[in-house]
Amino acid sequence: MARYIDEILQPGERVLYSTNAHWIFYVPAILAWIVALILFVLSRQTIVEGLVLLCLVGSGLVALAAVYWTVRGWFHRLTTETDVTNLRVVHKVGFIKRRTFEMALDKVESVDVEQSILGRILNYGDVTINGVGEGRETIRTIASPLAFRSSITTR
């Protein structure tokens, strides 16, 4: 699958910076895999027949949820692109139902970054791009938001 930005580049336009959704989207899946593993290990440690079955069923159900959250996080990261070219900022989300945002760099008035404490530690956050006459767009939970902001504001 070709990247969206490669399909829409104009003559003379080049990509300066690319980022993606942060891996934090995998946290529900990681936690579910840990719980499924704990339940499976508990099913092997106990000798009470009813408890063994309960732990195995619980482990299987949680593993199914973990598979769902893993695929969902992977697909979200796969179908989300955020790029800065020498002419514009481009953000695309989705595969079949696609939502895109593009703003010319000369129309960018300010770029705001919002990070929680965990976001500062793990290097992710929300970036809000304010445009002159073009409104505002918030790009949520992207990796390296400060580097992304710098790539927009440095000309």
pLDDT in tens, 33-80: 999 999 999 999 988 888 999 999 999 999 999 999 999 999 999 999
Q: Between these two residues, 3 and 60, which has the higher pLDDT value?
A: 60
pLDDT of residue 1: 64
CA distances from 56 to 9, 61, 95, 140 (A): 52, 9, 36, 37
Residues 6+ apart with CB under 8 A from 84: 15, 16, 17, 18, 90, 105, 148, 151, 152
pLDDT of residue 134: 65
- Return the half-sphere exposure (C-beta side, CA atoms, 13 A cut-off) of residue 81: 23
pLDDT of residue 46: 84
Residue 141, Ramachandran bin (φ over 0: left; ψ between -120 and 50: alpha; else beta): left
pLDDT of residue 55: 93
Band (pLDDT 50/70/90 cuts) for residue 135 is: confident
pLDDT of residue 155: 66
pLDDT of residue 154: 85
Taking only the tens place, the pLDDT of each residue in 112-131 is 999 999 999 999 999 999 99
pLDDT for 151 beyond 80: yes
Q: Judging by beta carbons within 10 Å of its beta carbon (0-12, 13-18, 19+), is residue 124 exposed, middle or buried? A: buried
Could you tell me where the DSSP H helices lie in 9-129? Answer: 27-45, 49-78, 117-122
pTM: 0.83
Taking only the tens place, the pLDDT of each residue in 84-117 is 999 999 999 998 899 999 999 999 999 999 999 9
